Amino acid sequence: MPFLHVYVAGGFCFISIFYQQILKGFINPTIIWMILAIFLIFTTINSLFIQPIDTFNSYALTVESVLIIIFSLSTYTIMLNDMVKEKRVHLAKSLNWINSGLFIYYSTNLLIFYFGDIITQFLSKEVSLYTWAIHSFFLILMYCCFFVGLWHRPTN
């Protein structure tokens, strides 16, 4: 479990930087950097005082999921604009696959992350295994979307 606490913070850093680059010119980059800084402070406080590193950090995962869903929906909204479609036509196909992978994974697993501590401690082992099998399915689906998105990337 200690690695999960570091993984959540690190993963959100990379995803935030990805969306900062994608949303550049539409959303002030300072806003995304502030969200990232606030999240890192929150996840550090969470790991030190609220949910110790030997427990499932469901609070940080839930906040991470909500923020990534917001980033993803913002990207979908911006990509609907005709001016954006013309400027980023070479990136649109690849970006839509990667953004869809992130949106599908984090939106479907939001409840699993929210109730993760309860799932790991109080449910039967069989139910817990089925829950994490569903999680694994959506994780594989996200990585498949990443693969297709990278396959369709511009080759300039």
On the CB side of 131, CA atoms within 13 Å amount to 20
Distance in angstroms (rounded) separating the CA atoms of residues 114 and 127:
16
On whether residue 156 sits in a domain, the answer given is: no
pLDDT, residue 6, reads 94
Count of domains forming the chain: 1
Which helix (H) or strand (E) segment holds residue 51: the answer is none
For residue 75, the enclosing domain spans: 2-151
Q: Which two tokens stand for residue 149?
A: 């998105």
0.85 exceeded by pTM: yes
Residue 88's pLDDT is what? 67
Residue 156: the pLDDT is: 64
Closest CA to 73 of 11, 141, 23: 23
Evaluate whether 23 touches 70 at the Cβ level (below 8 Å). Answer: no
Question: Coil, helix or strand for 91?
Answer: helix
pLDDT band at residue 13, thresholds of 50, 70 and 90?
A: very high
Q: Is residue 47 part of a domain?
A: yes
In tens, the pLDDT along 54-101 reads 888 889 999 999 999 999 999 999 888 777 766 666 777 889 999 999
DSSP letter, residue 88? T
Reported as a single tens digit per residue, the pLDDT across 97-155 is: 999 999 999 999 888 888 777 777 777 888 888 888 999 999 999 999 999 999 988 77
